[in-house]
Structure 1
Amino acid sequence: MSYRKFLDDWSKKYLRNTDINFTEQTTEEQWAVIRDNWIINKRYKELITFIVENWDSGNCDDFSRPFSKHLINNKELNYYKRLWKGIIRNRLDKLWPDYDYLKQELPMLTIEKIKNVDISGYNQFSADESIERTVAWRQLYIVDGINEFIEGLKILNDNEEIDRQTTLLRIVSNLEKPKHKPTTDKRKIDENLFWQLINDTRKISTDQYNFIDNLKSTLEAFNPKEMRNFDKLLNTKVNELNTWEHWALAYIVRRGCGDDEFDYFKVWAVSKGKDAFESIKEIDENQLFTIFDEDPQLEELYYLAEQVYEDKTTDLMAPVRVKVSELTGKRWDEDKIYQTFPKLCKLFNYD
């Protein structure tokens, strides 16, 4: 929802023809105007979510740094930590898969050699960069981010978090990928336990990204074989939302929704827990607005069970077969969506 709200604010201001100064600015300058307005109005939580969602590689320095400084100056410790933990989490999510691939391709390459790789002129957006330069750049980028995070924590006097980030700094500096938990939970994942795991994890999570981290940690305690049960239940529930009406809901909420985004919407609906999922499934207009408190996209959950299985076994999980139903319901036209779903459009201020 934060992503949609930010773009809504940007679009409304950009389309004001009387605001000549604004329309002559670059997109980056325009976004900075919206960012600063959100800061003035203390929309910190929404702004953090937007940053973490939009810059999923963690490369948001130019946009996020003024906000980070504002949080430090105003002693907003909790928001400052949420911002930086989200940024660093995104950067780490890109580092470890690349590092695993590098070890497969060049098993004799040492950490010292990686640290000495020349990354001058590295272009993170180029597909021509070598995997060695990419890993070396990602490592340094994360180290720089953690150090910047720690400097702010020193000003805010959070010694406990400084200790945690110092430990993470050592892990990244030495490319010591964290080891996964041993199997300690012997339970079988059936539908009841599936929903219990989702619900309990949502209760302790600050946002959808923290939810993924927490759920991954929980699933790592299970026997890897149970990941197939989890994945089958997840895809079964996702399939229950395969209707044109649910696609319309996703389209209205997000101001547009393609094929892939609809898949990520459905899996996000499952991540919100059993009660919320049922309300979304029934398109209960009395409950929907409170449920949609973040951008309804969670691609990471689609692959989480496979990732846990692979991490624990170093092997690929066999595909889980779930019969996918065809889209049901009445197909709608994008140009007439307001006339077709007037209540939903009004509920989510779609015009």
Structure 2
Amino acid sequence: MDINEFWEIIELGKDSEEPEDNLRINLEKLTPEEIVSFKTHFDYFFDRAYTWNLWGAAYIIGGGCSDDGFIDFRYGLISQGRVVYSNAIENPESLAELGEDLEIENELYGYVADEVYEEKTGKEISISAVPDNEDSMGEEWDFDDEEENIKRFPKLMALYW
């Protein structure tokens, strides 16, 4: 499975109320090898979204964002599809374009590939570890610093703060 095929599967369910259900239906059509490939791509994009800027945006949107909350945010960000994901990676402020009722967090979305693989094979999915992104997270700041947040994300602050 290449990156375009990965995003095609994501796109199939991105507009539903329960994108994890649509993802499950589409992954159930795949072979175990294809699910492993999907999960490898998923983990890559999940890790790539581990930046201070995105965490800051998630903090503003959610009125706070713990470690676990940021995991769920990144799962949900992937579920929004390639364009929203790519725009948010480039500029988290782009999330303001999605409106003030934005709810991105989706814990369940992150587990679907693992569950479908295990149901098909009776085994846990095993993939190579994704490289750690900690060195490329960007500049950390205090997410409670309103002035700094306004400077970094004026649109998000206007919508959510």
TM-score normalised by L of structure 1:
0.42
Partner secondary structure for residue 22 of structure 2? helix
- In structure 2, the CA distance between the partners of 1:261 and 1:349, relative to structure 1 (3 Å rule), is closer
In the alignment, structure 1 segments of 5+ residues that lack a partner are 1-188
Q: Are positions 1:330 and 2:142 aligned together? A: no
What's the CA shift for 1:259? 0.6
**Per-residue Cα deviation, 1:105-127 (whole angstroms, up to 9, x for no partner):** xxxxxxxxxxxxxxxxxxxxxxx
Q: Is the 8 A contact 1:249 1:344 kept in 2?
A: no
Alignment partner, residue 51 of structure 2: 243
One-letter amino acid of the structure 2 residue matched with residue 301 of structure 1: Y
User: Equivalent residue for 1:32?
Assistant: none
Cα-to-partner distance string for 1:248-295 (whole Å, 9 max, x where unaligned): 00000000001111111112111100000111112253x422436442
**Counterpart pick for 2:115 among 301, 307, 312:** 307
Question: 1:243 and 1:284, CA in 2 relative to 1: closer, same or farther beyond 3 A?
Answer: closer
The letter of the residue matching 1:333 is D
Give the superposition deviation at 1:199. Answer: 1.1
Give the aligned length: 156
- Relative to the length of structure 2, the TM-score reads 0.88
1:231–1:320 contact (8 Å) kept in structure 2: no
RMSD: 1.8
The reply on whether 1:230 has 2:4 as its aligned counterpart is no
Q: Which amino acid aligns with 1:349?
A: Y
The answer to whether the aligner puts 1:199 opposite 2:11 as a matched pair is yes
Q: Which amino acid aligns with 1:199?
A: E
Q: Which structure exhibits the higher relative contact order, with contacts defined as CA atoms closer than 8 Å and separated by 6 or more residues?
A: 2
CA displacement at 1:345 relative to structure 2: 4.6
Q: Does residue 1:253 correspond to 2:61, yes or no?
A: yes
Gaps of 5+ in 2: none
Report matched runs for 1:279-318 at 5 Å: 279-283=87-91, 285=93, 287-291=94-98, 293-318=101-126
Post-superposition CA distance 1:145-191 (Å, at most 9, x none): xxxxxxxxxxxxxxxxxxxxxxxxxxxxxxxxxxxxxxxxxxxx210
Deviations 1:3-50 (A, max 9, x none): xxxxxxxxxxxxxxxxxxxxxxxxxxxxxxxxxxxxxxxxxxxxxxxx
Residues 349, 261 of structure 1: CA spacing in aligned structure 2 closer, same or farther, 3 A cutoff?
closer
Superposed, 1:30-45 pairs within 5 Å as: none
> Max radius of gyration: which structure?
1
Identity within the alignment, %: 29
